[in-house]
Amino acid sequence: MPEPLPPGELLALDRQHVWHPYGPMPGRTAPLLVESASGVRLRLAEPVEGRDELVDGMSSWWSAVHGYNHPVLNDAAQGQLGRMSHVMFGGLTHEPAVRLAKRLVDITPEPLEHVFLADSGSVSVEVAVKMCLQYWRSLGKPRKQRLLTWRGGYHGDTWQPMSVCDPDGGMHELWQGALPRQIFADAPPAGFDAAPDEAYAAQLRELIARHADELAAVIVEPVVQGAGGMSFHSPGYLRVLREACDAHGVLLVFDEIATGFGRTGALFAAEHAGVAPDVMCLGKALTGGYLTLAATLCTTAVADGISRGALPVLAHGPTFMGNPLATAVADASIELLLSQDWAQEVKRIEAGLRDGLAPARSIAGVRDVRVLGAIGVVQLDHEVDMAAATRAAVREGVWLRPFRDLIYTMPPYITGDGDVARICAAVCSAAREG
Ligand SMILES: *Cc1c(COP(=O)(O)O)cnc(C)c1O
């Protein structure tokens, strides 16, 4: 082990050399220095606002559903490390990848049969788009190469995913002329329980019908739009999309990278609608937050279409495809999830969030409070003052990462009732001060 560096020096070097997500260089605000993490607690290298430990309200961006330093996942990683941490996937295969693929096929909607293992969520979306475009090329319809989505979405930061992110909230203006031009419907009307709006459903049908000749696929986040605005919509619209896609020969892609593995109260958000996509992306909680891994699943019809084309292969193959360490931990994480009554835990957290966030409704400047599954959102009527909101949460002993006008939480499923209440109190404080 190298000699540990003192916190002050680490932070100075970080500022000098290290990019952080969506950050300038050098960074404007100092990140908190985490020394270790266990259960739902992050341990800081030095106290901030009098706290050296924070309850994690973010699951490290939807991923650490079992919390940190979990003995079962540690065992899976250590066991695999002793065999091999990596081996190339071209021409070789191994048990962790095969077991994981079989498990994903078993737990996802019925017609999804084939699994492409990618190394991040954005790449899995790139692969999904490539599958869809290549499918239509193989079938002699190369004009079908555009995508349709609804506004308010988020699908990742690489090129194709960026092109279907919300065109107003995202970085579209910066990239005008450089991004593929996709087709956007209005954002779905808000409310998981709201009755589907017939006029909106008609808009979806009309757009799909009108653009069918040039559309390869419709891609959406089912039920919850995450980083695009943390909004919830009726599962009914997913059925509308399924029917319209079938009627007009367009593929349907569900990006379940944020919603997968129980977060919304169903194992996959598609289950709320009772429909299956042709292609599905998974990531984030796939490895329980341990390692980067994502997966793109598709139906046999899509796989057959591609494999019958002029280039009868799926033209993609990342260096670290099917990484043994990541697939072993992912398989263990899913087994761990399914071995317990995860739905009950998510319901328990949902009830705690509903109770704990209710007082936020009467805070000045709060526009909306919404909860679905283990997701709690307080939306302000103004841009959050990130520094002030973060400080307020840290003072309550909680880690939150607000963005735009949103202060939100999606805690690990192991979060106890007391800690859920504490997270809610911190969200309220952040809403008051941010
Ligand atoms: C996070 C996210 C992605 C991108 O995943 P990365 O692993 O960050 O590349 C794509 N789609 C959705 C819905 C996401 O939440």
Q: Span 413-417, mean pLDDT?
A: 98
In the block, tokens 């990683």 appear at: 77
Q: Residue 359: exposed, middle, or buried by beta-carbon count in 10 A (0-12, 13-18, 19+)?
A: middle
- Looking from the CA of 180 toward its CB, the CA atoms found within 13 Å total 18
Ligand 1 center–CA 283 separation, angstroms: 7
> What pLDDT shows up at residue 140?
96
- For 296-317, what is each residue's pLDDT tens digit? 999 999 999 999 998 899 999 9
pLDDT-above-70 percentage for the chain: 99
Hey, which of 154, 296, 323 would you mutate to test ligand 1's pocket, going by the most ligand atoms within 8 Å of its Cβ?
154
Longest dimension (CA), the chain: 64
Contact 391, 433 (CB under 8 A): yes
Confidence of residue 170 (pLDDT cuts 50, 70, 90): low
pTM recorded for the entire structure: 0.98
Question: Catalytic residue positions?
Answer: 22, 154, 255, 284
Confidence of residue 176 (pLDDT cuts 50, 70, 90): confident
Query: Which residue has the CA at smallest separation from atom 3 of ligand 1?
Result: 156
Give the Cα-Cα-Cα angle 292, 296, 300 (nearest 5 degrees): 155
Question: Which of left, alpha, beta for 193 (phi over 0: left; psi -120 to 50: alpha)?
Answer: alpha
Q: Span 213-219, mean pLDDT?
A: 98
Decide if pLDDT at 289 tops 70. Answer: yes
